[in-house]
Structure 1
Amino acid sequence: MSDTAIARPPETKKNPSRQMSEAAAEICNQIVDPSVYADMHALDKAFTRLRAEDPVAWCEPEHFRPFWAITKHADIMEVSRQNKLFTNGQREMLSYVSAEERVYAQTGGPHLLKTLVQLDDPSHYKLRHLTQEWFMPQNVKKREDAIKGLAKEFVDRMEDMGGECDFQQDIALHYPLRVIMQILGVPEQDEPMMLKLTQEIFGAQDPDLMRDKSLLDDDDPDSGLASIQETLAQFFMYFTNITQDRRNAPKDDVSTVIANGTIDGEPIGQLEAMSYYIIVAAAGHDTTSASTGGGVLGMLNNPAQLKKMLDDPKGMSRTAVDEAIRWTTPVKHFMRTAQADYKLRDQKILEGESLLLCYPSGNRDEDVFEDPFSFRVDRSPNKIISFGHGGHMCLGMHLARLEMQAIYEELFSRIKSIELAGEPAFIRANFVGGPKNIPVRYKF
């Protein structure tokens, strides 16, 4: 293929008279920097300034196509509920310009996958409908006893570890993984591989989690793309075998639904099927793991809140779960593309321009949350935006809440004391992330 024939991402329209505000000029490079997301204080400081000075901020960060940073809760909601006007299909997440160009050259389009995240209606609705029944509250409720059993199993494991562990690495990572793998029908012996592959995708910007450590010495900002493609290829190989197995011998699991799914009377496409497995397998546990650990860390850093939880674990668990999800906000952003000119606050967004929905900022919005920088296990109301809004609201949110509530009730009803035993660390990631290490000391 000649250079002139290579498909390229669309140029974002620029208004020649538009200039970045002082706040945006100083902050835009921070809110795309993975290392800033590993420092909650620095991230909060950056977003607080944008909310106050430039809540709909035009940003032109180095290595990225320009976008509008949307930092207020109300504005994120306003954009999210208008799925025809603000679409996912052109640009669903931050990606280096050079990486976007490589993907276009390889696929002729903007994405390596076709998951619910990258698709718009009608394709989005049709694919979502395939598995939606599995994740509805009434069907999630049917799994409550099994999930409580797993929560007990993992708290038993923690008790057997002798009073000290890394809560994130030893418990929070593996418990939601077991839940979603059982729903998918993935054998327990394959869980370590699934965890490794998931971390290589979502932790591709983190030196400890990336697949190819040699990339640390590479100056190319998107040098990790090939490594991510290797991980995706490994996912594809695994789930291609799963598909064949479920077509030959259907089971009562989500993999069977995907493998035998049809769209408009035709079997689901290979890329759509593989993408579906990956989004369920990866996002189905990684975000819940992050919030589970993030909530425990929030309590450990706020002894009065920890005491409330220990005093009444059953009464506090429901509100504590939503506070953990708000506090951690594991999905840091999604992007939308305007399909027509639109005025948001005092800014005119032009057709074709991108919007970065900054969920950590929305979840700290002073206009919505009282004392937003405090962790409160009994916060109510709690209008979290972590699950998104509108047609793309998280399919697994009811399952995530049930999982977290089960392990919080089990842990805090049994444990006598728990405290930090070292310095926690966070994943370097500007898309999906949370705690990486939470060393704890405890007594049962």
Structure 2
Amino acid sequence: MHVDLLDPGPFARNDFWSTFAWLRANDPVHRHPEPDGEGFWALTRHRDITRVYADTETFSSASGMRLGSHPSVIAGVSQRMLIVSDAPQHTRLKRALHQAVGPQRMPYIEELVEKVVSELAGEALDREEFDFIDIAKQLPNRVVCALLGIPVKDWSWIGDLTTDAFESEDEMDRANANSEIFLYFMELLSERRKRPGDDLISHITHDTRVDEGDEGQRPLTDEEIVFNLSGILSGANETTRYSAAGAVHQFAENPGQWRLLRERGDELVAPAVEEILRWTTPGVHALRTVTRDTEINGVPIAAGDRVTLWNISANRDEDLFTDPHTFRVDRRPNRHIAFGHGRHLCLGAHMARFELASLLRALSGVLDGFELTGPAVYNSSNFTWGVKSLPVRLLHSRGRTATA
């Protein structure tokens, strides 16, 4: 079988699933060529991928976290940005940032999420037919922008810029968008140093300390703050947007699952969220670089080789999930890796779960379901992927539309 995981076409058409199924069954540690490079390994089975995530000494994140990244860009943020750092620096940075987004901040974050969801649900219910992505992208963007204290006038612009930074097919466009985000955060950081508030940037700037062991504690550097604010912004926006839109798509195509969720209420909200995350898996792949000769599933892997971990394949692995190609809101257990695994488990996972749960509760209380009024359209990225357009009609109780 011809395998080309660099081709954006199958992702835009949503027809790459058979490729991953074939790889899992026939070539789970696949050597993949590159047109202008030395190639990379592609892992597609859950057990191999979680093993690599867990072995951070052999499989390093410091040389980049995705295919297509420019070495000079990675060198500029390596060991200063969580997703491209290794222990002990990764551990120290994560502990420090956890001070600002950890359990002590969750009551405030959850209150903010509930407020945003209530506003968005009201906006959605006032419409008859619309593209659900308009709501899906606003949910995480409003939450994270409010959390960071970004002025409201900049919310839409920063959301679009974040999408360009991670999804543009042009490497230069991605780099320019990232540069704009960094510069914008440098300006906000300078302002919050002079006039701190109750936002996340202020807390990270003034209250967060990195534990350097015997050398004591130190504040985060400006670069560490800016790079990781960008990571928080992108992680929050991409996961929830694609998961929320993907959920509505599945509920429209599987109305029985929406009825089941409504009938069983809160009991099924948490497992429904996990199934939505497994099914959508917006973070398609992650990259690791091998630090020493090793093997994966009996295949020799040399030091310096790059290994890609295809989360989206692991979450449909027949060896772990019963009937993995069926969307089931009551699936238990659900050991998906939509947020990664091990040390690099996404810092914002709890917030994303809470956003999706709040949205499900808000809509399931008033809607009989969703009707597609046009085809779902997908983006063409092999890094962050999902539904980018979803024309729908909301079906109110007793079959009424939003304006009936």
1:148 corresponding residue in structure 2? 114
Contact 2:100 2:200 in 1 (8 A): yes
Q: Partners in 2 of 1:184 and 1:383 — Cα distance?
A: 31
Q: Partners in 2 of 1:109 and 1:143 — Cα distance?
A: 33
Return the offset for 1:267: 4.5
1:247 corresponding residue in structure 2? 193
Structure 1 residue 180 and structure 2 residue 153: aligned?
no
1:296 corresponding residue in structure 2? 248
Q: Partners in 1 of 2:176 and 2:293 — Cα distance?
A: 39
1:93 corresponding residue in structure 2? 66
Shift of the 305–121 alpha-carbon distance from structure 1 to 2, 3 Å rule, reads same
Q: Partners in 2 of 1:134 and 1:381 — Cα distance?
A: 31
What is the RMSD of the two structures over their aligned residues, measured on CA atoms? Answer: 2.0
In the TM superposition, 1:358-369 aligns within 5 A as 358-369=310-321
1:220 corresponding residue in structure 2? none
Q: Partners in 1 of 2:363 and 2:231 — Cα distance?
A: 28
Structure 1 residue 34 and structure 2 residue 8: aligned?
yes
1:219 corresponding residue in structure 2? none
In the TM superposition, 1:21-420 aligns within 5 A as 23=1, 26-27=2-3, 29=4, 31-40=5-14, 42-95=15-68, 100=70, 103-104=71-72, 109=75, 114-137=80-103, 139-161=105-127, 163-168=128-133, 170-205=134-169, 224-260=170-206, 261-263=208-210, 264=212, 265-420=217-372
Q: Residue type of the partner of 2:117?
A: A
Return the offset for 1:135: 3.2
Contact 2:165 2:175 in 1 (8 A): no
Contact 2:252 2:369 in 1 (8 A): no
For structure 1, the residue ranges without an aligned partner over 5 or more in a row are 1-22, 206-223
SS of the residue 2:231 aligns to:
helix
Q: Residue type of the partner of 1:383?
A: R
Q: Residue type of the partner of 1:431?
A: F
Q: Partners in 1 of 2:348 and 2:94 — Cα distance?
A: 11
1:433 corresponding residue in structure 2? 385
Q: Partners in 2 of 1:71 and 1:309 — Cα distance?
A: 31
Q: Residue type of the partner of 1:182?
A: A
Alignment deviations for residues 72-111 of structure 1 (CA, whole Å, 9 cap, x no partner): 001111110111111111232101xxx73xx43xx69376
Contact 1:427 1:433 in 2 (8 A): yes
- Compare 144-153 and 246-255 and name the one that shifted more: 144-153
Q: Partners in 2 of 1:327 and 1:81 — Cα distance?
A: 23
Contact 1:91 1:110 in 2 (8 A): no
Alignment deviations for residues 1-23 of structure 1 (CA, whole Å, 9 cap, x no partner): xxxxxxxxxxxxxxxxxxxxxx4
Return the offset for 1:310: 3.1
SS of the residue 2:83 aligns to:
coil
Shift of the 113–184 alpha-carbon distance from structure 1 to 2, 3 Å rule, reads farther
Return the offset for 1:431: 0.8
Q: How many residues align?
A: 390
Q: Partners in 1 of 2:197 and 2:138 — Cα distance?
A: 24
- Compare 251-260 and 325-334 and name the one that shifted more: 251-260
Return the offset for 1:407: 0.7
For structure 2, the residue ranges without an aligned partner over 5 or more in a row are 397-404
Q: Partners in 2 of 1:308 and 1:327 — Cα distance?
A: 17
SS of the residue 2:289 aligns to:
strand
Q: Partners in 1 of 2:204 and 2:109 — Cα distance?
A: 20
Q: Residue type of the partner of 1:414?
A: V
Q: Residue type of the partner of 1:32?
A: L
TM-score by length of 1: 0.83
Q: Partners in 2 of 1:422 and 1:355 — Cα distance?
A: 38
- Compare 176-185 and 327-336 and name the one that shifted more: 176-185
Shift of the 370–138 alpha-carbon distance from structure 1 to 2, 3 Å rule, reads farther
Q: Partners in 1 of 2:79 and 2:151 — Cα distance?
A: 24
Contact 1:342 1:350 in 2 (8 A): yes
Q: Partners in 1 of 2:308 and 2:388 — Cα distance?
A: 25
Return the offset for 1:438: 0.8
Return the offset for 1:306: 2.1
Return the offset for 1:165: 1.1
Alignment deviations for residues 166-189 of structure 1 (CA, whole Å, 9 cap, x no partner): 111x21000111111121111222
Q: Partners in 2 of 1:108 and 1:403 — Cα distance?
A: 31
SS of the residue 1:305 aligns to:
helix
1:5 corresponding residue in structure 2? none
Q: Partners in 2 of 1:420 and 1:112 — Cα distance?
A: 43
Contact 1:298 1:327 in 2 (8 A): no
Q: Partners in 2 of 1:350 and 1:233 — Cα distance?
A: 34
Return the offset for 1:342: 1.5
SS of the residue 2:355 aligns to:
helix
